[in-house]
A and B are shown apart, each in its own frame.
Chain A
């Protein structure tokens, strides 16, 4: 079974500073994917970034980067130059990329990020 753990219920950051949101995972699968989603107060899940388990380089998407440490089973999200609009709930998720359940996501509990001006 897959499990995602986000140990930070809430994080605060000053505008324009960088922030790291922690995520650890547990799986016995060799092939999997790791995702980060943003969920603002409106409720919609917004895809931010993806890392495949066989990808050797850390994924980056604009101000978002994923610090993937496979041996430690961690997939932390780094947001650089925080903006007020980054205030939201952030979810780490894992997908199983084999068998009959392609893309089925397992989510963590989430971290609420608050960006202060």
Chain B
């Protein structure tokens, strides 16, 4: 596919469980962003990757959240010991690179529900 893809589209889990959310960016895009959108709110920045490294992880709410991008393409957002407050839509976006900040394309999101 040509766009950003995210899997799963929906994830229901129980409080305290571990979850992984996957993002597959547009081929060739070196910049990748994770955002979290709570119901009725605008998305909030979580973390930004340039290549394999996390250039800015200032939006991660606490140490239960972690993200990786080992080969500079697919990224996984990992949430440990999930809490009900983690329920939200997690959005991933990619862009061609630092000089293309006006081209940021979003995936369809993963809706996480923590029971």
Contacts and interface: CB of A to CB of B under 8 A. Distances in A.
Nearest to A107: B42
B105 A105 contact: no
A83 interface: no
Contact of B43 (A45, A102, A103): A45
A91 B101 contact: no
Interface stretch (B12-20, B44-52, B60-68, B77-85): B44-52
In the A-B complex, list the 4 residue pairs whose CB atoms are closest, starting with the nearest. Answer: A107-B42, A45-B106, A103-B101, A102-B98
Contacts of B35: 105
B108 interface: yes
B42 A103 contact: no
A5 to B, nearest CB: 11
Nearest to B35: A105
Contact of B101 (A4, A47, A102, A110): A102
Contact of A43 (B58, B101, B102, B109): B109
B109 A100 contact: no
Contacts of A95: 101-102, 104
Contact of A105 (B33, B100, B109): B33
A38 B93 CA distance: 15
A100 B55 contact: yes
Interface residues of A, number: 27
Given A97-B101, A104-B56, A43 B108 contact: yes
B75 interface: no
B56 A100 contact: yes
Given A33-B101, A46-B106, 20 more contacts: A33-B102, A35-B104, A37-B106, A43-B109, A45-B43, A45-B91, A45-B93, A47-B104, A52-B102, A95-B101, A100-B55, A101-B56, A102-B50, A103-B48, A103-B95, A103-B104, A104-B33, A105-B33, A105-B35, A106-B45
A108 B44 CA distance: 9
A103 B44 contact: no
Interface string A13-45: 000000000000000000001010100001111
Contacts of A100: 55-56
A68 interface: no
A74 interface: no
